[in-house]
Structure 1
Amino acid sequence: MNTLNRTLKLIGVSVTSLTATAMTLGSAPAHAANFSYTGTLDNPNDFQSFFFTANGASTVNLRSYSWAGGTNAAGTVIADGGFDPILSLFDSTGVLIQTVDDGPDPVPADPATGSRYDTNFSQALAAGNNRVVISQFDNFAIGPNFSDGFPSNQTSFNGRTANWAFDITGVDTSTGPSTAVPEPFTIVGTIIGGTAALRMRKKLKATSKL
């Protein structure tokens, strides 16, 4: 990894936004849904969680576009200039499967620096629920569990913007993001809890007109 390129990064700007796009290839076999997410981090030590499900044994691919940009699985052109991303993969019990920075599968070079700091890797998984977390280098998941958190040792975006973008491909469903405090999870509990909170919010809005 090129240490010089990392030390030459300047202070970035945080812009709050988030979009997500799901694309399903109707004629393809099982696990043909591709999910594309884009957004920003409010703070250099923030991270965001996304949950996905495979209904059978499958190989998931996780691919970022934060650093060098490119065209994601939804066909959206992503601008270069975002921060150096890390993708961490956890199973349904919160156990860390792996955390990856820079490749290892081929990624394009950033036009400004020539460095290749995006993340692109595949992982064979059994049927079930999983979590992927995006964070900035070098906030690697501490592990071995999601509940162990992230080191939070960044003070800026190192000359890049707070923008991130990544794809989850080869799965059946995906939801996110979540910025909750790390704790063990089940995707069913997450969905039920979110639904209950939404219903309560609607009731409060109807009665108080806040």
Structure 2
Amino acid sequence: MKKFISAAAALMMSLTANATLITESFTGNFDNDESRFYISFDVATDNSLVELTSWGYAGGVNAEGTTIADGGFDSQLFIFDSLGNLLESDDDGSNVVSATSGNSWDAFISRTLNTGSYFAVLTQFDSDYISGDLVTGEWSLSDTTNFVDADDNDRTSFYAFDISGENLTNVGGIGHDTTPVTVPEPGTIALLSLTLLGLVTRKKLTK
């Protein structure tokens, strides 16, 4: 019995080791302080670890190997399920320190998700989700002008963030600014292909 259990454990470890890590990198510029950037993604297997990392504030090297310059705005990240329920949010979870401001104000989320469809949203601090539809619903204002951070440091409109995890599929970006537009309900957003409002780049990497 012990040999059988050991063999089964070894098989599971082998399958885990051979799983493909999927990473998508997004970069672009917000149109204004209240802009938001949305992505949709699916998780194919229960108990899959998914990570979201922003790089725009302090800079660094993103998942596709691009060097991101220090100087973007103070970012926040949110994860929602397919019904628009907020699962987790983060403001300053990254430990990367900006050389120009001395602050580590990039966002980082690491969460285990089950099979299903999800949305992630990037905003500027302090624009928080309050209620309603993810796009047309109520979000608080960022309480800043021209991307100045909470310490009155001048920042830019540039953002950069990655999503990575095993068992990710159908990862796509939907850019959105605060200009009123007709948009689908959250469950329909996942069916859209990449739609951009502003400059966005994305690239899939596998390891």
What TM-score does the superposition give when structure 1 sets the normalisation length?
0.71
Task: Evaluate the alpha carbon distance shift between residue 140 and residue 182 of structure 1 in structure 2; reply closer, same or farther with a 3 A threshold.
Answer: farther
Report how far residue 46 of structure 1 moved: 0.6
Is residue 62 from structure 1 mapped to residue 55 from structure 2 by the alignment? no
Normalized per residue, which structure has more helix?
1
1:178 counterpart residue number: 175
* Structure 1, gaps ≥5 residues long: 1-26, 198-210
For 1:142, what is the secondary structure of its paired residue? strand
Counterpart of 1:111, as a letter, is A
RMSD: 2.5
Match of 2:156 among 155, 158, 161: 161
> What amino acid sits opposite 2:159 in the alignment?
W
SS of equivalent to 1:172: strand
Q: How far did 1:141 drift?
A: 1.5
What residue is the counterpart of 1:86 in the other structure?
76
- Paired residues for 1:85-104 under 5 Å: 85-103=75-93
Q: CA deviation at 1:182?
A: 7.3
CA contact (8 A) 2:40 2:119 kept: yes
Residue 60 of structure 1, CA deviation:
0.5
**Percent pairwise identity:** 33
How far apart are the structure 1 equivalents of 2:182 and 2:145?
20
1:137 is the counterpart of 2:125 = yes
Aligned to 1:117: 105
Deviation at 1:194, TM superposition (A): 5.2
Identify which of structures 1 and 2 has the higher relative contact order when contacts are C-alpha pairs closer than 8 Å and 6+ apart.
2
Q: Distance in 1 between matches of 2:145 and 2:61?
A: 29
Alpha-carbon contact 1:94-1:184 (below 8 Å) kept: no
Please point out which of 31, 50, 56 is paired with 2:39: 50
Gaps of 5+ in 2: 1-15, 149-153, 196-207
CA 1:181–1:99 in structure 2 vs 1: closer, same or farther (change >3 Å)? farther
Give deviations 1:120-154, integer Å, cap 9, x for gaps: 12011111111001010000112476363311243
Query: Aligned residue pairs: how many?
Result: 166
Q: Is the 8 A contact 1:101 1:137 kept in 2?
A: yes
Tell me the amino acid that sits aligned with residue 134 of structure 1: L
Q: By how many angstroms is 1:173 displaced?
A: 3.0
Contact kept, 8 Å, 1:139 with 1:154, in 2: the verdict is no
Q: Which whole-Å CA distance do the structure 1 matches of 2:126 and 2:182 have between them? A: 19
1:30 is displaced (CA, Å) by 3.8
- TM-score (structure 2 length as normaliser): 0.72
1:38 equivalent to 2:35? Answer no
